[in-house]
Amino acid sequence: MNAADRKKKEKEVVKTSKYDKLVQKAGRVTAKGDFISLHKVGGKLYIELPVVYLGRDMLLASTLTSASDNLLCEVGYKPEDPLHVKFTRTDSSIYLRRVNTKATYNEREEGMKIALERSLTDPVLKRFKIETYNNDSTAVVFDVTDFFARHNDMLPSLPKSYGGFISIKSSPNSEGEALREIKAFEDNATIKTDLAYKVTMTVFGIFTIRADEPMSIQVTRTLLLLPEEKMRPRIADTRIGIFLTDKQHFSTEQDEVGIYSMIHRWRLEPKDAEAYARGELVEPVKPIVFYVDDAFPELWKQPIKEGTERWNKAFEKIGFKNAVRALDFPKDDPNFDPDNLKYSCIRYIPSTTANAMGPSWIDPTTGEIVNASVLVYNNVIQLINQWRFIQTAQIDPSVRDKKMPDEIVKESIAYVVAHEVGHCLGFMHNMAASAAYPVDSLRSVTFTQKYGTTPSIMDYARYNYVAQPGDKGVKLTPPDLGIYDEFLIRWAYQLIPKARTAREEVPVLESWLDEKAGDPCYRYGRQQLLERYDPSAIEEDLGDDPMKAGDYGIRNLKYILSHMDEWIADDPDGSHKQQLLEQLMEQYYRYITNVMYNVGGIYLTDVKEGTPGDRYRSVPKEVQKASLQWALKQFRDCDWLYNKPLSKKLTLRISEADVVRSVLAQSLLSSYQRVILSAHVSDDPYTLKAYFDDLYNGIWENTIRGKALTNGDKLLQTNAIVMINDVVGNSMKKKGKFFLTSLDELKNYGLDESGMVRKFYKTLKSMEREHGDSFVAEQLRLHGIGYGYNWQDEVDVEAIDNSKQYLFTMANKVKTLLESKIPTSTGETREHYRMLLFSLNRALEGK
């Protein structure tokens, strides 16, 4: 073969290389990007990865794009956190590895680095066979069809549970799988895939909601390249409420492995560092941009933008201008995809869930937030309507209607979105914020116009239910931003130029918190989801005195109930009034329960040694005593809840007063369980003996005085005997968890963001009756609710529980009282006492 023939043959070989055969196949679709390219060939998917990106950190996420059922599928949501991954190459294989970021080390110790590299390697998730290289060998090509374009347990498309108690089992149906659109960009690529499942949903594995029902969805898988130059982390402090990720730190400078946390925050850097240093307002290199769904009702769009950009007021105080931006979904940008991990969006969810949520996702190496979503469910407007009416109709005539005025809707939507964007900026709930303000200040025009109802919109402090009908000009809403919210922005985002490392920042950050120590407006109160200890860190409350706030609130509820029928005129079937009446009962329940948390309550505050404050401090005994008496009085005197003329216009029902009493009775009678720990840690305790004396005198007050019994008296006395029977009459019976939240607390305080507790309340209530009052909360804890959110942990008090002796003493006092009153009683009262005595005798005799 001559030279010319050889060259011709070589050209033919080049033209028919394996790579060319792949990319030149008929029907091939290629998405070419600066980062990676995707090839869709005959139903298969190939990644073409430049070798320069081998070993680079990436995030891999799966986002729900569409679904045939919106009960458990939230469009725009990621069922699981993105995977932190990288690709590596060994011989003829590409390995997808999860990046191990659980530990850091002292960089001055070379040996420590070597030890960790050996001990904390990056585990393999998947191996891919190299199909070919591109023609200049700068990129490797491998088939990823099974991993990226089909069902994959490592990239779940459906949640495994919903609300913490609905277990979801989804069996993939390959008949509904199809690889759809592929896109590639500067630093990411997306793959859309149709998937199908048969779904079974059960409540704690006991009650089946759905069985093998078909569901079709589309998911968007995003592979996002993380910055090579990492953001400086910021080390967390437990005295401030910012989402965090825990880390281990290895160094011989300590005699143990150090545990620390880094906060979640966006990467904000000034465009002009010199101007920023001079104190001038400077725009960030990369602002925090949220894209607003074009599916929102038109009325909502502008307040959504206003609520989002409200945070700019706080960023301006630390030198950043236009740090947060809210933009419409682009109409003329073919690259825009709201389900791409690259874009943070505010999405509209057409669902009956009455809520909104603001999750975010981070680079686990540094805590840098790279993506966030605000999901606004359609029925949040229903919740706003009910809140506004039940909490402010006594003073605001504009809300005395079935439908809220547009201005109220816009004001409320802006507040809801601002709260959720706060989460997206990295901020936790601060449930202690509203307890900073004196109750009577909430009736002051000058105070409320300046400060609103709370120092932080990250609290669940809604509207001003303290304000009375004559308090003209009082602000009824939370502030646009509270002073604590502005402090959050400063602490999380203020640059500290003199510090060269995250650890060098710590003394400055600590000093900022030291300056605020002891000031209630800057106190952080962890949300107490499953264990409730601190009465000052509670959702849906206002002010520093729940008894005084409750008195004002109950006065308003009576006023609203007496006018509800005339105010809500256009309601032919009564359904709206019925919803409002149920909300009114829930509001009353919260007023009583807010006060009951004082009994056995313990104030919890994270403090640093040498600064003001106590880490824990029992509620003063005189406050506990007064709170118990206040709650007992309300229990006896709540017959006003039954508005008979109004109730007769609604569906068949029992008295609202009896409904509330039946819900409250158990929590009121079990409050002794909290007193055990509170008395144990107090220097001047409200003792169990004093508590049971007060409880006895409160429950049996009318009996002792020989007065006629109310319905409340009879119900409370009956429940008291049941409690005695349960505890005294069965010495081997296992007790429930003392501090665990009840089902009614989960529902009435909005602790279940999924809305499933409310939806399946009757089913869960029957389970609670069968398995005990703490059953639902215990199951939620076992299912991991609250993981990583810095909840208050449970304290086991079994070792110090001597309550049975006091219950036994009270039982004998009741027995003596009943025996003395039966001979002189008549009619129903006499039969009531005889029934109680019969049951009590059985308990005391151990039958």
Mean pLDDT within 532-556: 96
pLDDT of residue 531: 81
Q: Is the per-residue pLDDT at 13 higher than 80?
A: no
The two structure tokens encoding residue 564 = 């509800």
What pLDDT, on a 0 to 100 scale, did the predictor assign at position 576?
Answer: 93
For position 786, what pLDDT does the model report? 41
Identify whether the C-beta of residue 410 lies closer than 8 Å to the C-beta of residue 302: yes
The answer to whether residue 3 scores a pLDDT higher than 80 is no
Query: What is the identity of the amino acid at 457?
Result: I
Least confident range from 12-21, 185-194, 625-634: namely: 12-21
> In this structure, what token pair is assigned to residue 524?
């952080």
Local confidence band at 627 (pLDDT 50, 70, 90 cut-offs) = very high
Q: Answer whether residue 190 shows pLDDT above 90.
A: yes
How large is the average pLDDT for residues 521-541? 91
Measured CA to CA, the distance from residue 294 to residue 736 in angstroms comes to 49
Sign of CA dihedral 509, 513, 514, 516: positive
Q: Is residue 72 part of a domain?
A: yes
pLDDT category of residue 293 using cuts at 50, 70 and 90: very high
Residue 141 has pLDDT above 90, yes or no: yes
Report, as an integer, the average pLDDT of 154-166: 81
Residue 31 covered by a domain = yes
Q: How far apart are CA 462 and CA 465, in angstroms?
A: 9
- What gap in Å lies between CA 822 and CA 827, rounded to an integer? 10
- Domain range for 69 is 3-226
- Per-residue pLDDT, averaged over 143-169, amounts to 86
Q: Is residue 668 part of a domain?
A: no
Kindly state the tokens that stand for 69: 């059922």
CA distance 23 to 133: 12
- Whether 181 is in a domain gets the answer yes
* C-alpha separations of 612 from 349, 519, 605 in Å: 45, 9, 11
What percent of the chain has a predicted confidence (pLDDT) above 90? 68
Q: What is the pTM of this model?
A: 0.92
CB 179 within 8 A of CB 145: yes
Query: What percentage of the chain carries pLDDT values higher than 70?
Result: 94
- The answer on pLDDT for 32 being more than 70 is yes
Q: Is residue 161 part of a domain?
A: yes
The amino acid that residue 387 corresponds to is W
67-81, 120-134, 332-346, 584-598 — which is least confidently predicted?
Answer: 67-81
Tens-digit pLDDT profile for residues 639-681 = 999 999 998 888 888 889 988 998 888 888 889 989 999 999 9
Q: Which residues contact 125 (CB under 8 A, 6 or more apart)?
A: 83, 85, 96, 97, 98, 154
Phi, psi of 270 (to 5 degrees): -75, 140
Rounded mean pLDDT of 122-146? 95
Number of domains in the chain: 1
pLDDT bucket at 100, cuts 50 / 70 / 90: very high
Q: How confident is the model at residue 16 (pLDDT cuts 50, 70, 90)?
A: confident
Q: Write out pLDDT tens, residues 721-764.
A: 988 888 876 644 444 455 678 888 888 888 877 777 888 888 88
C-alpha distances (whole Å) from 745 to each of 251, 660, 759 are: 45, 13, 15
Q: Note whether 360 and 372 are within 8 A (CB).
A: yes
pLDDT tens-digit map of 771-815: 776 777 777 765 444 434 455 667 888 889 999 899 999 999 999
Report if residue 17 sits inside a domain: yes
Within-domain flag for 792: no
Mean residue pLDDT of the chain comes to 90
d(CA 749, CA 759): 15
Are 710 and 702 in contact, with CB atoms under 8 Å apart?
yes
Q: Is residue 686 part of a domain?
A: no
Nearest to 451 by CA among 466, 435, 467, 437: 437
When pLDDT is cut at 50, 70 and 90, the band that residue 11 belongs to is low
What 8-state DSSP symbol labels residue 302?
H
